[in-house]
Structure 1
Amino acid sequence: MNPTVELNLALILFLPWFSILAVLFWLYPRQPRTPVRRAFDGISLVLATLLSGWGMHWGFLHADPHAGAIWKQVLATSVAYGLFLMAMLAAIALRVWWLSRPAR
């Protein structure tokens, strides 16, 4: 397998699922849709993707080589998915808190 594809396989395979989660995060709740909210959502998605990519590379490079070749992909996928979800849940919690504050 091409080394670049092997290193990024977890992200390639999870890209459709990450895209679905990203679109749902972007669309809901529908209001208020201010420029600040769009910027927050965009930054949150970029950070979640970057964190996931970093975790994927870390998992791939730090997997036990004696456990078998597939273990690198399993660990990379697990770490990438966990970090993406963690970042998105933190962004959702922050956005809910931010939107529930009384207007000033």
Structure 2
Amino acid sequence: MCTTHFWGPVSNFGIPVAAIMDLKKDPTLISGPMTGSLIVYSLVFMRYATAVTPWNPLLFGCHVVNEIAQIGQGARFVNYWYLGGKDKATTAPAAPAASSEEK
């Protein structure tokens, strides 16, 4: 518990936690290049976690969670900017306001 094999992955969990929390935010806030970079980064470090001796399952798990979260963000980015999500968001009708007569 007093080594970088523990504290490195624990502190690194901030990245996937932030990505998971951002899954409900507006897709215009997603950076495509950064999301792509984080996808590659997590793939590289998943491989690294299996190559180091001793094997570091905590680091591997951190990057598995980050990979899944970043792929989700990437899918939202591609859907919004390239698959018509932006058009659907701008043409969606606003919810009607409740009238005082319905009370």
Q: TM-score, normalised by structure 1?
A: 0.37
Query: Which structure shows the higher helix fraction?
Result: 1
